[in-house]
Amino acid sequence: MNATMASLSKSRAQAFSLERIAGVSPWTQQVRRAIELVAAHQSSVLILGPSGTGKELIARAIHASGKRTAKPFIPVDCAVTTGTLFASHMFGHVKGSFTGATSSTLGCFRAADGGTIFLDEIGEMELELQAKLLRVLQQRTVVPVGSHDEIPVDVRVVAATNRDLGREVTAGRFREDLYYRLNVVTIRTLPLKDRPEDVPVLATRYLAELAGRHGMPLYTLSPQAIEVLQSYAWPGNVRELENVLERAVMFSSGDEIDPEALSGFMGSAGVVGPLPDAPAAQSTHDVSQLVQATAQGILSTTAVPGVFRVEPDVRQPQADAPPPLPGRAAVAGPASAAEQAADSVWPTLADVERIHLERTLAATMHNKSLAAKLLGIDRSVLRRKLQRYGMEGQPGEEPAGPDSASP
């Protein structure tokens, strides 16, 4: 009975770990198959690839899919484990071995006994420390600081780095013998820009995780937003995608994320082209559109080259006169070319909302607390809308105080 339960538990852990490797690209499917094959053996594994591509996720999946899943998985950041603390952190120490050693410790290798130790950023390890690590991998024993007794350890080693270890060996910055000791099986991760078909899958899964974690409604992506995400190069890979989505959720007014909520958080270094169906401002027709847009109001750039944001000109309504519709000429007499151009464009809901926000702020002398009450919304919602339209920090707003402090 216990054996059956343990088998079921292992199957669930394996299925969950493989589900975490989300995507539909050929690379994702290949990695899942590689994890299943590698997990059945005990050889060392070296995971190579750029930062933010899920190297630790792959390492955890290997551990959960293998025979060691019931034993510990111990991650070690080799970039911060340096100097004299290395031996104590990795191999443990005995009580009284140095000042402050008031008790004995196991160290990471002994803590991972029977399980897996994950050596992250192995390429950052100093040469002197590489020699100590190599001896442990060869002898399969550790000697705690302050002791002379060798203690056997049974661990599987999975290492990862974003460096090219072959070049590091040639440059003399990484030991060749340690490289071959670690590089028994190699798994290479792929940048997110090279598998754009995985972006919607990863984004949908992370939005669901955000909703569960914070108890908020489940946000979805509009088709245009998905196209924007897939056209971006993602220099920070999956980690950057998660950050962009989390910030977009914070600044989205509805339950659907549109391109406007994304573009402000995506750096220009990752832009690989204009938005789909967006004007490139190169042809004669495009230039005439920009001239008309300038006549209508404010023309500002966005994070995507060749894509512009048009804000209609807001004119103060005359006293005792109904406010003119956005885009309609408010001056009597023969229509000018600019007025005719403005007259031909019907305002969007975003245009109307922005104008109403500006008029409300003007009527309340930029008192945001009062403006929120007049609009019938929470002050935090008003703040997000003002940030969305670039209306934060306008002159004349009320000084910070108990009534105007951010919630």
Length of the chain measured in residues: 407
**What is the rounded distance in angstroms from the CA atom of residue 156 to the CA atom of residue 43?**
7
Higher pLDDT, 15 or 147: 147
pLDDT of residue 278: 40
User: Residue 161 pLDDT > 70, yes or no?
Assistant: yes
With b for 16 or more beta-carbon neighbours within 10 A and e for fewer, the 34-65 pattern comes to: bbeebbeebebbbbbbbebbbbebbbbbbbbb
Within the chain, all domains assigned CATH 3.40.50.300 are found at 2-190
> Mean pLDDT of all residues in the chain?
77
Residue 138's pLDDT band, with cuts at 50, 70 and 90, is very high
Within the chain, all domains assigned CATH 1.10.8.60 are found at 194-270
Residue 354's pLDDT band, with cuts at 50, 70 and 90, is confident
User: Residue 122 pLDDT > 50, yes or no?
Assistant: yes
Domain 314-330+341-401 has CATH 1.10.10.60: yes
**What is the rounded distance in angstroms from the CA atom of residue 116 to the CA atom of residue 89?**
16
* Tokens at 396, concatenated: 């004349």
How far from each other are the two terminal CA atoms of the chain, in whole angstroms?
54
Closest C-alpha to 323, from 362, 292, 373: 362
* Tokens at 41, concatenated: 């053996």
User: Residue 377 pLDDT > 60, yes or no?
Assistant: yes
Task: Give domain 2-190's CATH superfamily.
Answer: P-loop containing nucleotide triphosphate hydrolases (3.40.50.300)
Within the chain, all domains assigned CATH 1.10.10.60 are found at 314-330+341-401
Higher pLDDT, 292 or 67: 67
- Are 379 and 369 in contact by the 8 Å Cβ rule? The answer is yes
Closest C-alpha to 52, from 228, 209, 305, 240: 240
DSSP state of 82: -
Task: Mention every residue, 6+ apart, whose C-beta is less than 8 A from residue 264.
Answer: 251, 302, 303
State whether the Cα torsion 183-189-190-195 is positive or negative.
positive
Whether pTM exceeds 0.75: no
DSSP state of 198: G
Q: What are phi and psi of 145, to 5 degrees?
A: -60, 130
pLDDT of residue 11: 54
pLDDT of residue 264: 67
Higher pLDDT, 37 or 349: 37
- Are 313 and 343 in contact by the 8 Å Cβ rule? The answer is no
**What is the rounded distance in angstroms from the CA atom of residue 126 to the CA atom of residue 174?**
8
User: Residue 400 pLDDT > 50, yes or no?
Assistant: no
pLDDT of residue 388: 83
Closest C-alpha to 185, from 47, 18, 68, 50: 47
pLDDT digit string (tens) for 45-62?
999 999 999 999 999 999
* Tokens at 27, concatenated: 């690379």
pLDDT of residue 12: 54
User: Residue 406 pLDDT > 60, yes or no?
Assistant: no
Which CATH class name applies to 194-270?
A: mainly alpha
**What is the rounded distance in angstroms from the CA atom of residue 296 to the CA atom of residue 339?**
8
- Are 207 and 220 in contact by the 8 Å Cβ rule? The answer is yes
